[in-house]
A and B are shown apart, each in its own frame.
With several copies, the nearest count.
Chain A
Amino acid sequence: MINKTVSGAKEAVADIPNNAFLMMGGFGLSGIPENCISALLEKDIKGLTIVSNNAGVDDFGIGLLLKKRMVKKMISSYVGENAEFERQLLSGELEVELIPQGTLAERVRAGGAGIPAFFTPAGVGTEVAEGKEIREFDGKLYLMERWLKADFAIVKAWKGDTAGNLIFKGTARNFNPIMAAAGKITIAEVEELVPAGALDPNEIHTPGIYVQRIFQGENYEKRIEQRTISK
């Protein structure tokens, strides 16, 4: 079986250049590639475009890349909870493209699946529809949306094997599997890396064919945004 293992985050992100087009898995701070974000922070690159459902918080996740002015553009569905983001956006240092969450997910899925365009009802009659083809099917209006593909997709999984097969945990799965398929180079960091053959082939969420580099991450903080407890 093909071995995708690299030594760690530093090697995994070593060839990500200025102005790269990236995807990063995660929803809020859940399921984000913490190790790769740290390794990117050590690199002297800028002008990144990042597709990610959210933009982290001021002092964690993608927020750290924003603070270091490494990001030119965010493509997201929701970017609240981030004061530095707001400052850069209002000052014109940062561009943002807001996309309905389901359209974002389907555009990424389409990128991985070789579907250059598809129709969705989300956004019809709204400013999201501006400049897009609108078409009626079976009496309902739909927008045409295009695929999204990335130079590098960076994802975080729970378990992975050396062949690049991935299993996610809980709702930390979110955008990770579909982004894994949409990267020209896909980097997966996992909490536990096992030999090929150690995972049940029937329980794998992301087939290894989509993953070019894998390593076992360390020191996961897994910060919680809204710790909500039952009375």
Chain B
Amino acid sequence: MLNKEQIAQRIAKEVQNGQYINLGIGIPTLVANYIPKNLDVVLQSENGLLGIGPFPKESEVDPDLINAGKQTITMVPGSVLFNSAESFAMIRGGHVHLTILGAMEVSENGDIANWKIPGKMVKGMGGAMDLVASAENIIVAMQHCSKDGQSKLLPECTLPITGIRCVKKIVSDLAVLEISPEGGFILKERAPGVSVEEIQTKTAGKLIIDGPVPEMSFN
């Protein structure tokens, strides 16, 4: 089973040179630490920045420079600042190539639920609905099962939906899976030490196994 850092590390392998990328809060934010140094990519912050840099040193902290998680950040050379309408224009217009975000549930046709749990205080969807409705490529970082052992990869989402038919790939603590255009989770890779049988048991939605399933590597 992968820990959060390892999920981030595996997702980083999906990043391609020249991409503009939006990283959600949580595990997705960690992905930035594992993107190979030889790739030129640009990280977008939907509150109005292209070119997120590392967190600042104490002396560099600027309250007027934060990311979408409200954390203080820095800018890399070549960055650009803009307003919220322009930010979502570039998201909605398909200019951001890759969105990586967390999920509570994903369905076998690529629906995602990650913003609301009935009965709990609703904090809001933020930019998630815009991101999942717009990006070409959406990769989800998530735990395969809930804390009480229920699969979060389902035939249909039970929680309120964030977006439909949008997820392309999932990296969970157990596996890498792609969503089949015809529906179903195509098992591509296993986490080290995790068997196909365990993944099968823990996937409530349709699991598609097409040939041998290699153990994932991180390099």
Contacts and interface: CB of A to CB of B under 8 A. Distances in A.
A90 B122 CA distance: 10
Given A165-B80, A170-B65, A178-B83, A98 B94 contact: no
A130 B94 CA distance: 25
A183 to B, nearest CB: 11
Nearest to A198: B77
A27 B84 CA distance: 9
Contacts of B92: 102, 106, 113-115, 120-122
B133 interface: yes
B85 interface: yes
B6 interface: no
Contacts of A170: 49, 62, 64-65, 81
A105 interface: yes
A128 B96 CA distance: 23
Contacts of A121: 92, 133-134
Given A114-B89, A126-B162, A171-B81, A103 B130 contact: yes
The size bracket of the interface on B is 35 or more
B164 interface: yes
A193 B68 CA distance: 29
Contacts of B124: 76-80, 98
A205 B95 contact: no
Contacts of A105: 83-85, 87-88
B117 interface: no
B163 A229 contact: no
Nearest to A197: B77
Interface in B49-89: 49-51, 54-58, 61-73, 75-89
Most chain A CB within a 10 A radius of its CB, from B81, B92, B160:
B81
B99 interface: no
B14 interface: no
Interface string A116-129: 00001111111110
A182 to B, nearest CB: 8
A228 B72 contact: yes
A204 B129 CA distance: 28
Contact of B90 (A168, A172, A210, A224): A210
Interface in A128-175: 128, 158, 161-163, 165, 168-175
A91 to B, nearest CB: 12
Interface string A169-202: 1111111111001000000000000011100011
Contact of B64 (A30, A80, A103, A207): A30
Given A1-B51, A105-B84, A201-B81, A123 B133 contact: yes
B115 to A, nearest CB: 9
B46 interface: yes
Interface in A91-119: 98, 100-106, 108-109, 111-115
B125 A174 contact: no
A68 interface: no
A78 B65 contact: no
Contacts of A181: 89-90, 93, 95
Interface in B100-131: 111, 121-131
B160 A127 contact: yes
List the 4 closest A-B pairs by CB distance, nearest first: A197-B77, A196-B78, A102-B88, A102-B130
Interface of A: 1-3, 27-31, 53, 76-80, 86, 89-90, 98, 100-106, 108-109, 111-115, 120-128, 158, 161-163, 165, 168-178, 181, 195-197, 201-202, 204-205, 207-210, 222-230
